[in-house]
């Protein structure tokens, strides 16, 4: 059965040609989702973006070319984050749908649409270059790390990969920054074909591998390529000397945490990654039914049961035990100095986690901030030499830019 929403081909509001800086790369749908455009975009680059700096994924610079992803992970947190500035796009679409203007059969939820930012490349360029042509970030010693993306996957299909590549080229041309790219798509590796080799040493590639089991990823990472393809792409990049990092996020409760951690570290070649981020799964209550449903649909009854046991009212201690066990297993298996375990703490749990910072725990959340336990990226963070002519993975480390 074709579940793709119907569109009126000429509908002004929902066609892309006038919205994109790469009109040849426009589609009406992506992964069976309608592509909507946010036209009130004033920024693509967020600087500073302290939250992702605290996660040590970047030095407070975050790039987003869209607001709703082409993938539909059941645990996705973005809906809550973009409520203020992007939900009107979905509301507008649903109002038009109700009036019969765009042919959709029913109102769509946030995870059922793709939202791109209109003229995103032009907006980005205007954030990097002044009207007189001079760069806004002209300090040659400013080698901070920018992160893409926090709201959408940067490489779910070739169209968006090309857009991401163009965005990277603008940043690489007009700043001295490095760029950390995180994706659930094996296509991400293809981006090196679109970016001049002289810039490759400023790119750091990572793939989400919270599980290394294709069935589990298919159950909860709807629409994304299999995790085995992602691992293959990661290894492809590592074998060619590109800089990589690992993202063992989000991982489900396990029967044997040590075995899980060892298996993932081996699959992703943790020793060849500059850093290894990891995190337990934080499923918002409204995302829990979809996550459980996904697991059950794949026949993963035990996994669903274990997840149910650590979430919801009264499961606080079980959840804390699960995340501590996940952390301790990674602390034993990830090569020394590379682990960055992301943990939202409470007033109650902060003490234990604070003692784990020397082993790689990175504390997050309002209580961590209030207690002065969050990391503070330096501004600007001078990192490796920017004159290296070719990638040197394993040698070029992004140093900790924190006050640890």
Residue with smaller CB distance to ligand SF4, 72 or 127: 72
- Residue-wise DSSP of 109-176: -GGG-EEEETTHHHHHHHHHB-TTS-BSS--TT--PEEEE-SSS-S-SSHHHHHHHHHHHHHHHHH--
> How many angstroms separate the CA atoms of 325 and 212, rounded?
18
User: Is the separation of the CB atoms in 382 and 369 below 8 Å?
Assistant: no
Q: Which of 129, 142, 133, 121 is nearest to 63 (CA)?
A: 121
> How many angstroms separate the CA atoms of 97 and 105, rounded?
7
Residue with smaller CB distance to ligand SF4, 73 or 398: 73
Please report how close the Cβ of residue 165 comes to ligand SF4 at its closest, in angstroms: 18
Residue with smaller CB distance to ligand SF4, 73 or 362: 73
Please report how close the Cβ of residue 12 comes to ligand SF4 at its closest, in angstroms: 28
Please report how close the Cβ of residue 245 comes to ligand SF4 at its closest, in angstroms: 16
Which ranges constitute the DSSP H helices of 37-104? 50-54, 78-81, 83-98
Please report how close the Cβ of residue 14 comes to ligand SF4 at its closest, in angstroms: 21
Please report how close the Cβ of residue 55 comes to ligand SF4 at its closest, in angstroms: 14
The sheet with strand 203-208 has its strands ordered as 45-46, 61-63, 145-148, 178-183, 203-208, 243-251, 276-280, 339-344, 361-364
User: Is the separation of the CB atoms in 97 and 107 below 8 Å?
Assistant: yes
Structure tokens at 190: 């293809």
Please report how close the Cβ of residue 181 comes to ligand SF4 at its closest, in angstroms: 13
Please report how close the Cβ of residue 72 comes to ligand SF4 at its closest, in angstroms: 6
Residue with smaller CB distance to ligand SF4, 90 or 329: 90
Please report how close the Cβ of residue 150 comes to ligand SF4 at its closest, in angstroms: 8
> How many angstroms separate the CA atoms of 400 and 167, rounded?
25
Please report how close the Cβ of residue 80 comes to ligand SF4 at its closest, in angstroms: 11
Residue with smaller CB distance to ligand SF4, 172 or 189: 189
Residue with smaller CB distance to ligand SF4, 172 or 342: 342
The sheet with strand 29-30 has its strands ordered as 29-30, 33-38, 114-117, 66-68
Residue with smaller CB distance to ligand SF4, 43 or 282: 282
Q: Interface residues with ligand SF4 (CB under 6 A)?
A: 69, 71-73, 76, 78, 152-153, 184
Q: Phi and psi at residue 116, in whole multiples of 5°?
A: -105, 160
Residue with smaller CB distance to ligand SF4, 71 or 327: 71
- SS3 per residue for 192-243: HHCCCHHHHHHEEEEEECCCCCHHHHHHHEECCCCHHHHHHHHHHHHHCCCE
Q: Tell me the C-alpha to C-alpha distance, in Å, between residue 113 and each of 38, 68, 144, 194.
A: 12, 7, 33, 27
Please report how close the Cβ of residue 307 comes to ligand SF4 at its closest, in angstroms: 16
Residue with smaller CB distance to ligand SF4, 279 or 320: 279
User: Is the separation of the CB atoms in 110 and 90 below 8 Å?
Assistant: yes
Structure tokens at 234: 């990661």
Beta bridge partners of 342: 362
Residue with smaller CB distance to ligand SF4, 119 or 185: 185
Structure tokens at 368: 């961590």
């Amino acid at each position: 059965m074709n579940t793709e929403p119907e569109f009126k081909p000429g509908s002004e509001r929902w066609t892309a040609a006038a919205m994109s800086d790469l009109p040849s790369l426009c589609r009406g749908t992506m992964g069976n989702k309608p592509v909507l455009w946010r036209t009130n975009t004033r920024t693509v680059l967020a600087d500073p973006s302290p939250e992702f700096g605290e996660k040590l994924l970047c030095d407070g610079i975050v790039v987003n070319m869209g607001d709703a992803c082409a993938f539909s992970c059941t645990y996705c947190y973005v809906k809550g984050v973009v409520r203020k500035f992007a939900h009107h796009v979905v509301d507008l679409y649903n109002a038009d749908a109700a009036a019969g203007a765009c042919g959709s059969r029913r109102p769509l939820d946030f995870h059922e649409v793709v939202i791109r930012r209109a003229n995103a490349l032009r907006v980005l360029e205007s954030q990097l270059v002044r009207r007189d042509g001079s760069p806004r970030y002209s300090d040659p010693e400013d080698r901070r790390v920018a992160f893409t993306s926090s709201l959408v996957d940067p490489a779910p299909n070739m169209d968006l990969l090309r857009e991401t590549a163009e965005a990277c080229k603008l940043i690489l041309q007009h700043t001295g920054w490095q760029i950390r790219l995180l994706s659930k798509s094996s296509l991400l590796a293809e981006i090196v074909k679109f970016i001049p080799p002289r810039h490759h040493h400023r790119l750091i590639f990572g793939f989400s591998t919270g599980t290394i089991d294709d069935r589990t990823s298919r159950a909860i990472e709807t629409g994304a390529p299999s995790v085995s393809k992602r691992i293959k792409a990661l290894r492809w990049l590592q074998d060619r000397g590109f800089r990589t990092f690992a993202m063992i996020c989000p991982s489900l409760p396990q029967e044997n945490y040590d075995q899980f951690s060892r298996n993932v570290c081996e699959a992703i070649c943790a020793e060849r990654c500059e850093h290894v981020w990891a995190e337990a799964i934080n499923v918002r209550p409204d995302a829990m039914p979809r996550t459980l449903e996904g697991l059950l649909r794949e026949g993963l009854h035990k996994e669903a049961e274990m997840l149910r046991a650590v979430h919801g009212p009264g499961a606080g201690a079980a959840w804390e035990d699960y995340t501590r066990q996940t952390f301790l297993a990674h602390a034993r298996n990830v090569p020394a100095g590379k682990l960055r375990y992301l943990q939202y703490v409470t007033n109650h749990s902060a003490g234990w986690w604070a003692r784990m910072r020397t082993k790689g725990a990175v504390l997050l959340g309002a209580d961590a901030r209030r207690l002065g336990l969050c990391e503070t990226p330096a501004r600007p963070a001078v990192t490796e030499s920017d004159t290296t002519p070719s990638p040197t993975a394993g040698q070029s480390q992004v140093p900790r830019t924190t006050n640890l």
